[in-house]
Chains A and B, each alone.
Chain A
Amino acid sequence: MAKILVVDDDVEIIETSKIILESKGYGVVAAGNGADGLKKARSEKPDLILLDVMMAHDREGFEVAQKLKQEADTRHIPVIIITGITKSKKLPFKFEPDEDWLPVSAVLDKPVKPELLLAKIEELLAARTTTQTPAN
């Protein structure tokens, strides 16, 4: 079954996300900050990453997403960014997936309804298998 990396500094959210995802049969790896998240993305090779934007500072999530895109090992992993900020911070870009600024597969507003999150994960994993299968 697919393995999902949850990066968030909120222990409660990690805890509940873990139960929800595991209940759907996904394997879950958790990281409490950006650095840990990057390390685990490299070591655990997750099939998908759930990334909270605001952790230690306002932009930690974006930086993590950009680094993931830069590394060959992690570049192909789909990333769902969950953001609580949308436009409350003056960031120079839109909250849309974007090659340069926001190299992620989906942006979801925090708080995300679990049903919606699960649907999105399913959709992205399905897309990944269809696009990657012929390559393998």
Chain B
Amino acid sequence: MLRTKLFQGFAILVVLFSILAAYVGVQTSQRRMVDEAQTRVQLNLGGAWSVLHAKMSEIETVLRLVAGKQLVQDLTEVDRFDETEVRHRLERIRVTFGLDFLQLLSPEGEVLLRTTSPYNKGDFRLSDPAVSGAIKGEIQTALAVLSPLELATEGPELAQRAYIPIEETLRARPSSRAVEDRGLAMISAVPVVKGAQVIGVVYGGVLLNRNFKLVDQMHDIVFKNEVYKGVPVGTATIFLGDCRIATTVRLSNGNRAMGTRVSKEVADLVLDNGGSWVGEAFVVKDRYLAAYDPIRNVAGEIIGMLYVGTLKKPFEDYSRGIALKYVYVSLFALLVGLVLAFFIASRLANPIHRLMEAADRVTQGHPTPPVADTGSCDEVGHLIHAFNQMTSTLTEREVKLKALNRSYMETLGFVSHELKGPVATILNYAYLLREQKLGDVNDRQVKAIRAIDAASNRLVEMVRHYLNLSRIENGELRPLCGRIALRDDVLVPLLERLEHEIQSHEMRVDLQVDPGILLLADRNMVLEIFENLFSNAMKYGRPQGVITLQVEPEEPDRYLFKFRNDGPGIPADRIDSLFQKFTRLEGTDGVRQQKGTGLGLFITRSIIEAHGGRIRVTSEVGGWVEFVFTLPRFKQEGDAHV
């Protein structure tokens, strides 16, 4: 169907475009989301660095303050420098400003005093690049690794805080170490200057191992304590080497994930190559978008990493939300598109459908009103207009043709009728000659008279047939039905008339007809039926063959006739054309070519159908032909029937 095809075409287009739009939309939004998330996590890392740098500059400020104090300036005045007093005062400063250690060193690098218990002194710290830098008069603030010995010298409390057992971690680099006992610290070394001379160094700092305050502060400042569905949005971690020494990442038991290590791929990029790592990471149990930066000491060596990560789920959900919106919009567009496609297809196909139906009606010969043009489009309008014109021309022509055929048929009827008079005269003279009423006739003349007789008989048949054809074609074949006794009114007189001819073919007639069979039919027409069937049987039947007629009642008010004659039969492919006008069987398989009008069976069928009956023919080639037909029964009161 055209409409279905159009609709399918439209629908495929609509679906394809919807899918394409949804796909492009989802892709674009997701890429945009990933870009956005990465930018954001990089900004977050910048934020974390700011917190770290602020803390370091705070330390530096405190140390510069200490270096400027008179108390420390008096370092070189031996009589005025009271070590206990100074240590006491500096320890108070250290505690007040939250430093983990604070020392005073000589220009030679010797530790003059410590402010942490047990207040060890006298060791040299020249190997520390920050210290040696400060001795040269430069302020040094940096991140640095403190060895276990240094931590222990500072005091047992610090060494204990730095001590972190290393946890077994999936995907981390293999490591034989069981413990991280070094410390990562923010340190500052400030020279104590008197005149142009460096008279000492103030050295202090904050240990980052287990420094939860700092990472929590980073988290608070960068992520504003955001929580998404019960999970903190951001995490921050400080690594010493590849080991977590301070983190906001929690394990499933709620403890901080201390001592766990970074994955190998991150360590390879950041620790070994000094790159920044931005990407997706699986942290404990959630997916994070993570950023790692290397941490360097004064000498520029990589000693650890700073990490921030932001939960991926909000981005994913947001992205999924946008994608869903795209899908909903696409679905809506799809629905609207399909409905539109349906209407457009209908609108395009409807006039063509109407044309098709009208064309079918014309083909079947029914009268066809003009097809209405609903103005769908120019081409279809033209087609409808052309079609309507064609139909009206066709109708006009048909009317003319019918009129012509009618007048032709009337002429045929008239001519046939006019032939009757002359034919009657010929028949009469032929009779008189044959009967020698006009004088003696010799043998050759007898032959001639027989030929005239035979020709006249054919002429009679032709006149009868053409008159009937004229009636059938003009629709004047209207049976005037009455009560007919099949045997006595039709068959007996007919066979009497045909007796001579049947005998000349040496055929035998077997009538299995009950004398009580009464028909409700037109007697002349029924005579015509049997006249044609017998004539047919004599023309095509086998000489010395049998012609059989059987009649049996058929429900509810008809008789079924079976008229059979022996003969060569009719090939199956010829049976259909048998009842058509001007059909004569051709001389095949020894069947002799017969002279006739080719109208007998056509008239027979027309008469039977005019009586509301049907006729068909069955045949066995080389055996017999049987015409089976029905005619209406005359119903009598109390007629139980045969």
Contact = CB atoms under 8 A, between A and B. Distances in A.
A110 B417 CA distance: 9
Interface in B519-570: 522-524
Given A23-B437, A94-B522, A111 B432 contact: no
B480 interface: yes
A19 B424 contact: no
B421 A116 contact: no
Interface string B461-488: 0000001001100001000101000000
Contacts of B429: 16
A12 B482 CA distance: 36
Contact of A87 (B427, B428, B437, B524): B524
B224 interface: no
Contact of B482 (A17, A85, A96, A114): A96
Contacts of B423: 111
A95 interface: yes
A87 B471 contact: yes
A19 B425 CA distance: 12
Residue in A85, A93, A94 whose Cβ sees the most chain B Cβ within 10 Å: A94
Report whether over half of chain A's contact residues are helix, strand or loop; otherwise say mixed: loop
A133 interface: no
A10 B428 CA distance: 13
Contact of B431 (A87, A88, A93, A115): A115
Interface string A89-132: 01001111000000000000011111110000000000000000
B497 interface: yes
A20 interface: yes
Given A87-B524, A88-B467, A111-B460, A10 B482 contact: no
A114 B426 CA distance: 11
A86 interface: yes
Contact of B432 (A20, A86, A116): A20
Interface of chain B: mostly helix, strand, loop or mixed: helix
Nearest to B453: A113
Contact of A20 (B417, B428, B470, B480): B428
Interface size class of B (residues with CB under 8 A): 20 to 34
B425 A95 contact: no
Contact of B435 (A23, A87, A95, A96): A23
A43 to B, nearest CB: 26
A56 interface: no
Given A84-B420, A88-B471, A116-B497, A23 B425 contact: no
Interface string A44-68: 0000000000000000000000000
B205 interface: no
Interface string A67-82: 0000000000000000
A35 interface: no
B413 interface: yes
A130 B438 CA distance: 34
Contacts of A112: 424, 427
A51 to B, nearest CB: 14
Nearest to B436: A23
A115 B498 CA distance: 12
Contact of A111 (B420, B471, B522): B420
A101 B2 CA distance: 64
Contacts of B413: 88
A111 B424 contact: yes
A60 to B, nearest CB: 15
Interface string A1-38: 00000000010110011011001000000000000000
A105 to B, nearest CB: 15
A41 B78 CA distance: 193
Nearest to A11: B425
B480 A111 contact: no
A17 B417 CA distance: 20
Given A19-B428, A86-B467, A114-B427, 13 more contacts: A10-B425, A16-B425, A16-B429, A86-B524, A88-B471, A94-B480, A94-B523, A110-B420, A110-B421, A111-B423, A113-B427, A114-B432, A115-B431
28 contacts: A10-B421, A10-B425, A13-B425, A13-B428, A16-B425, A16-B428, A17-B428, A19-B428, A19-B432, A20-B428, A23-B435, A23-B437, A84-B417, A85-B417, A87-B476, A88-B413, A88-B471, A93-B480, A94-B523, A96-B482, A96-B523, A110-B420, A110-B421, A112-B424, A114-B427, A114-B432, A115-B431, A116-B497
Interface of B: 413, 417, 420-425, 427-429, 431-432, 435, 437-438, 460, 467, 470-471, 476, 480, 482, 497, 522-524
Nearest first, the 9 closest Cβ-Cβ pairs linking A and B are: A16-B428, A111-B424, A114-B431, A84-B420, A12-B425, A23-B437, A94-B480, A111-B423, A110-B420
